[in-house]
Amino acid sequence: MPVSVKFIIISIFALLLTACSKKATDAVEELPKINIPRFGEENTLEIASWNIQTFPKSGQTVSDVKEIVLDLDADLYAVQEINNAFEFRNLLDSLNAAAGADMYDGRLNELSSSFKTGIIFKKSVIEVLDSTYLFVNDLYDFASRPPFQLSLLASKNGRTFDFNLIVVHLKAEDGNPQSQVRRRNSIQKLENYIDSQLQSGSDPDFVVAGDWNDELEDPPSSNVFLPFLEDTLRYKFLTLPFAGSSSEFSYLLGGFNSLIDHILITTSIDTAYLPLTTQVLKLDQYYSLYVSEVSDHRPVAARFGTF
């Protein structure tokens, strides 16, 4: 066989091997490393509250959160501890790139300290009508993270539901008496504010979601939630059935496992809520690197049967 022909055959064979190897490598790279059960449904509105610890916690956080959001397929995420607004925008861009369409958008609380609150939402379901910041002149009790209120319109299957979402991240440090006083004060102020809105004839539908940094089952002498818990005619914690559970906790570190992330609703929307559809989403049980790469908090999420 002439040398030139032999060289051509060897070259073609090498190219084929390279192409096959590249296809195999690409196929491996495209496989998702996280596989979490879907929470979203076609006939409900899904709202999750998620403290994404010091986002982005690691170099893999944006990619991990993208996969988790796509897997869960919820309509709306109230998020806390967004430390990097640029990476938050990268997350939204990567979600849309993976979805193959301009499906997701977000808003950040620009008045928060480095631990910003915000929302991530499906544009086909959620429309932001208005937004504002509460207690901007009273930042001490709210740990320099003023509650972020958004007026939202949800649309699905030809039906609509308008409501007010307030995203909170209250003062941390459970063992610090002064921090507990600040949480107590902030919760009383929130309750006073929502009461005033209800009495004024404004939209009565409120959802308050976030990292409250306290537990619902504390005794009355130390329970910071009493303003809401005692007014059962107007308020309901969707996370209350899990209070005191040894397994349904949202904070993950060490021996401090506790349920401190909550979703509160006004009872005006209780008829739209599907019973027994609040969950603590135990993402760490599906992804072994969750705590090291994503967060020390699990999301809590609820479905609303509005649609």
Q: Are 183 and 224 in contact (CB under 8 A)?
A: yes
Question: How does DSSP classify residue 241?
Answer: G
Q: Are 131 and 112 in contact (CB under 8 A)?
A: no
98 residue type, one letter:
A
Is 79 found in the same domain as 13? Answer: no
Give the list of residues 6+ apart from residue 206 with CB closer than 8 angstroms, or none: 163, 164, 165, 166, 194, 197, 264, 265, 266
pTM for this entry: 0.89
282 burial class (0-12, 13-18, 19+ CB within 10 angstroms)?
middle
Is 161 found in the same domain as 117? Answer: yes
Is 53 found in the same domain as 16? Answer: no
Is 36 found in the same domain as 26? Answer: no
**What average pLDDT score do residues 142-148 get?**
96
Q: How far apart are the first and last CA of the chain?
A: 74
Give me the number of domains the chain comprises.
Answer: 2
Give residue 24's domain range: 1-31
Domain of residue 245, CATH code? 3.60.10.10
Quick one: pLDDT at residue 23? 39
The β-bridge partners of 165 are 150, 207
Is 149 found in the same domain as 91? Answer: yes
Quick one: pLDDT at residue 1? 52
What pLDDT digit, counting tens, does each position of 204-249 carry? 999 999 999 999 999 999 999 999 999 999 999 999 999 999 899 9
Is 215 found in the same domain as 105? Answer: yes
Identify which of 267, 203, 189 has the alpha carbon closest to the alpha carbon of residue 235. Answer: 267
Q: Is the pLDDT of residue 91 over 70?
A: yes
Is 239 found in the same domain as 164? Answer: yes
Q: Provide the token pair at 21.
A: 């190897």
CA-to-CA dists, residue 295 to 63, 129, 289, angstroms:
13, 30, 10
Query: Regarding predicted confidence, which is higher, 102 or 113?
Result: 102
Is 131 found in the same domain as 120? Answer: yes
Is 43 found in the same domain as 26? Answer: no
- pLDDT averaged over every residue in the chain: 90
Is 57 found in the same domain as 16? Answer: no
Is 6 found in the same domain as 151? Answer: no
Dist CA 156 CA 169 (whole Å):
29
Is 155 found in the same domain as 57? Answer: yes
Dist CA 180 CA 172 (whole Å):
8
